[in-house]
Structure 1
Amino acid sequence: MNPEPGKISICGDDSLRIEAGGMRLFITTEDVKSLIFYGRVVPISKSVCRTGEGGITESLLSIGGHAAMNAGGKAVTFFTTNGHYILPLISLQRVARGEAVSAPLFPLETDAPEERK
């Protein structure tokens, strides 16, 4: 069985955790609602921990991509720094409502034309 290229699951605070391309990303609860109900483009955030001077661990928050509804309104596309993924809207809704534990992300292929011989 091939491993999933990524998956999306719900966290304890109702935010969505995205594991894709070896990165752990998340979408906040407010942004999940904006994406599902209004179709707005929302940021995908990542938390980076680093040890600063004096051994103090700092947690930095940065944007690792964005999520948007596709033109037909039937799927959500995730554009991250490590790749692009697509997920059916119904799967995202089921995970966000807690009906499903997780859902697999599917890699989104580029529209680049193939070289012709």
Structure 2
Amino acid sequence: MTEPGTLTHGAGGALYISVDAEAYRIEAEDAKNLLFYGRVIPITLERSRTTPGGILVSEIVIEGHAAMNASGRAVMLHTRVGSYIIPLVSFQRVTRGEAISAPLFPLLPEVGL
């Protein structure tokens, strides 16, 4: 079962998603594109690795996406570790910095009958 997560407001208006010891990020400009234009936006993760020559390399990779749900009242977040939903009002409050964080609710896969 998918563990609950948290959406947090960060420096420069970026949003951080904490789930299963992973720290995903949504850029401030991407959050605006989601809220104002309804666009699907990327969820990224910063990974660090050491090359065979001993050089530390940091790279940003897309690990999922966020989109409005069909009703327009919630935001769905899909990551490698699971899918989550957050009410639009909570997402907006965290994006504006009115709330420091908000819980994410796991989306359970539909079970065939």
**Structure 1 length normalisation: TM-score?**
0.90
Letter matched to residue 102 of structure 1: S
Instruction: Determine the C-alpha separation between the residues in 1 that align with 2:80 and 2:93.
Output: 26
Instruction: Determine the C-alpha separation between the residues in 2 that align with 1:21 and 1:88.
Output: 21
Q: CA RMSD in A?
A: 1.2
- 3-state SS, counterpart of residue 99 of structure 1: coil
- The aligned residue for residue 32 of structure 1 is 31
Moved over 3 A (4+): none
Deviation by residue 1:27-68 (Cα, 9 ceiling, x = unmatched): 111100001111110010111011123322110111110000
- 3-state SS, counterpart of residue 44 of structure 1: strand
The answer to whether the 8 A contact 1:75-1:87 is kept is yes
Is the deviation greater in 33-42 or in 20-29?
Answer: 20-29
Larger radius of gyration: 1
**Structure 2 length normalisation: TM-score?**
0.93
- The aligned residue for residue 79 of structure 1 is 78
Q: Which structure ranks higher in relative contact order (CA pairs < 8 Å, sequence separation ≥ 6)?
A: 2
5+ residue gaps in structure 2? Answer: none
5+ residue gaps in structure 1? Answer: none
Instruction: Determine the C-alpha separation between the residues in 1 that align with 2:27 and 2:87.
Output: 19
Letter matched to residue 24 of structure 1: A
Deviation at 1:22, TM superposition (A): 2.5
Q: Across the two proteins, how many residue pairs are aligned to each other?
A: 111
Instruction: Determine the C-alpha separation between the residues in 2 that align with 1:85 and 1:19.
Output: 11
Alignment of 1:87-102 (within 5 A): 87-102=86-101
The answer to whether the 8 A contact 1:6-1:19 is kept is yes
Is the deviation greater in 20-29 or in 42-51?
Answer: 20-29
